[in-house]
Structure 1
Amino acid sequence: MGDGIFKGKESLAKIRKVVDNVDFKRYFDYTTDIRCSIEGCESTADFEVILYDHYLKVNKIFAEQDLTCPFMCKKHMDENEVNAKGDRVPRGRINYPFSNQHSAQGYTKYSPLVQ
């Protein structure tokens, strides 16, 4: 997995967490025919991409749809995580190949889309 954010015994299954019980701001509505947002990808989207951060000192969660990549297919989600560089911690910074192209603090979470 190279310099990805998961090391040792951790696996990609660990990142497949949804944004449970957290309302997040959406910029693009989901439709059943929505495609992956990665340029050139014709696959149907499997996940909504969420920018997520947790302000520990005030116990506040920030969550909003990623403007730079609002939807991803499973293939690109896996690729996004395997090639991510940085620490998945509150107020941290992770460089992703596809999501969070504006370099916001926090990290990417994926909410599975119901087909």
Structure 2
Amino acid sequence: MRKDKSGKGGTIINIASIYGYRVDQYVPVYQASKFAVMGFTKSLGNIENFNEFGVRVVAICPGFTETRLVVDPKTVIKDTKFKEFTKKQAWQTVEAVGIAAVEVFETAGSGTAWLIEGAKQIEQIL
């Protein structure tokens, strides 16, 4: 995709999570990996990199989404506490995340990250 390598440019959408910038006590390893995705996105997506290579890099940060990942999550705290915690979150469907991801693709600047939570309008973060 890189323009300096005869490409036409393009877009990379990294999948982070609300855990890329929010912290709680339940899934520290997952949170650490999502913080890494955010740092990678902001660094690789820096405007100077975009201007040189023509590749836009953005991150989407979905909140709690109805997927198989949340059927039996592994946490460091008792599962009952985590289940109570998750009941209070703004849940959304995979389809809602897909629709929001298309909007991010159509509008987002390189190096930005976007919250997708509770099937509400996307919101730029960080």
TM over 0.5: no
Structure showing the higher strand proportion among its residues: 1
Structure showing the higher helix proportion among its residues: 2
Q: TM-score under structure 1 normalisation?
A: 0.28
